[in-house]
Structure 1
C-alpha cells in the first residue's frame, strides 16, 4: 500500500456524484452535484476540499414528491443555478492537474458531464475511475455490486442523507479508500496506470447541450 500511495502522489482524485430527475423520453436532468477532492499526504489519502450545489432542472420537467429527499425542496431547486453555471464553477476550481474523477457506476456521471462539456472542459476531458469496476476486481462473487451492497460488505455506515449528493460522495470516498487498499494488497494495482486499466472509463464525447441551463470546489460550499 505504501508503494501505491507513493505512486499516486501528485494526482487529485475528485469523488463526484449527481442526483437527477429521470423524465420519460429525455435524458436525465441533474438536480444536485457534490464533489470531494482526495490527495496523498503522509502516505494517506486525505480530503483536500469539497463542493456542493443544487441544480435547477428545466421548467418543463416535473418534480415529484419522490424526487424531494432529505430536505430538498422544489422551491430551492427552482431558485438554483442551472447545470451549465454550476458545472462551469466546479470546472474553474480544477487548476492543478492531473485529476481522476471517481464515482460509483461512473457511466452515469460521465453522461451528465458530457451534456455540459462545453461549459466544463476540464471535467469533460478527465478520465473516471469506477468503484463498481474496482469492487468486481477486489470482491468476487457478490450478487450485487451496488453502493448499498458494498457499504454493507465493508461495514461502512449508511449516511443519514443517503441519496443526497454529498452524503453519497462521502461514503463513496470511504469505499474508494478501502478498495484501493484491498486491491493493492491483492496485487491488482500498484500504479495509476494499473487503476486506469482495471477500473478506468474514458470521458464520453460531448452530446447536445441545448437545455436550460457556485463557490469554490475547494473552499466555500453552496447548496
Structure 2
C-alpha cells in the first residue's frame, strides 16, 4: 500500500490471509463529569498481502453533539471542528448503525492507536453497532512498544517521526488520523514479522490485543495471520 513500506514479496501465506483490519479513530468532546461524546468517526478497512496493506473501503462522518454538551474553543483549535459543522450532522446512533451495516464480510479486527479510548466510545454506542462492538481490538501503542522498545514515547506523533511518515492531512481529524495509523500499523506488522516477533494473528492478539467489551462467539478462520 505504501511505496516506502517494507514488503514480504514471495511469502504466499500473506496472500492467503483473509482478516479485514478496521483501522478506526474517533474525535470526541469530553464534558466535565460525563463520558466522552463522539462527534466524528473514520474507518479504513484493509487487508494484509505479501506487498503490504491493501485498502478495501473507507468511511468517515461527523456526528451531532448533544444540545447540553458545549463545543469548546480548545476543541475547535485542536480539531478544526466547529459547532456549526456539528449542527448539520446526524446523531451518533445513526452514524454507528450505518457503519455497522457495512460489516458484512467477517472476520475482523479493529485497530486503533491507544485502543482503550476507541473501545470505550464503541461500547457506549453498542446498541447501534452490535457487530462492531463485538470485534476484538489491536492497540498500535502496545504493538509499537514491542517492535520499538528503544523509543522513549510511543505516541502517534513520535512514531510518525521515527518512521519518517508524512500525515495525509490535519492531525486530530478522524480520517487523517486513521490514514496515518494505517501506515504505522503496516510498518509494525511487517517489521515485527521480519524480526520474528509474530507469525500468526494469535501473536498480535497476545502482544497487542484487547478483548471486545462484551462476550462474542469465536470468529472462524482467524488462526493464521500470514
TM-score above 0.5: yes
Map of 1:63 onto structure 2 = 71
From 2, 6, 14, the counterpart of 1:5: 14
Distance in structure 2 (CA, Å) of the matches to 1:194 and 1:3? 19
**Corresponding pairs, count:** 205
TM-score, L = length of structure 1: 0.87
Counterparts of 1:77 and 1:193, CA distance in 2: 40
Partner of 1:168: 177
2:205 — aligned with what?
Answer: 196
Of 156, 159, 165, the match for 2:165:
156
What is aligned with 2:43? 35
Q: Any conservation in 2 of the 1:4–1:191 contact (CA below 8 Å)?
A: no
State the Cα distance separating 1:93 from its structure 2 match: 0.1
* Conservation of the 8 A alpha-carbon contact between 1:38 and 1:47: yes
> Which of 22, 36, 43 matches 2:30?
22
Q: Secondary structure at the match of 1:77?
A: helix
Distance 1:59-1:86 versus aligned 2 partners, 3 A rule = same
1-side partners of 2:12 and 2:146: how far apart?
19
Q: Which residue pairs with 2:61 in the alignment?
A: 53
Conserved? CA contact 1:103–1:172, under 8 Å: yes
Measured after TM superposition, the shift of residue 143 of structure 1 is 1.6
Partner of 1:106: 115
SS at match of 2:212: coil
Within the alignment, does 1:128 sit opposite 2:128 as a pair? no
Q: CA RMSD in A?
A: 1.7
Match of 2:94? Answer: 85
The alignment partner of 1:140 has SS state of: coil
Alpha-carbon separation, structure 2, partners of 1:39 and 1:158: 21
CA distance in 2, matches of 1:131, 1:5: 20
Deviation, structure 1 residue 4: 5.8
**Cα distance per residue 1:57-97 (max 9 Å; x no partner):** 11101111221255422112022111111111000000000
* Native 8 Å contact 1:3 1:190 kept in 2: no
Q: Is the CA contact (8 Å cut-off) linking 1:113 and 1:123 kept in structure 2?
A: yes
Higher RCO (CA 8 Å, separation ≥ 6 residues): 1
Provide closer, same or farther for how the CA distance between residues 76 and 18 of structure 1 changes in structure 2, counting only shifts above 3 A: same
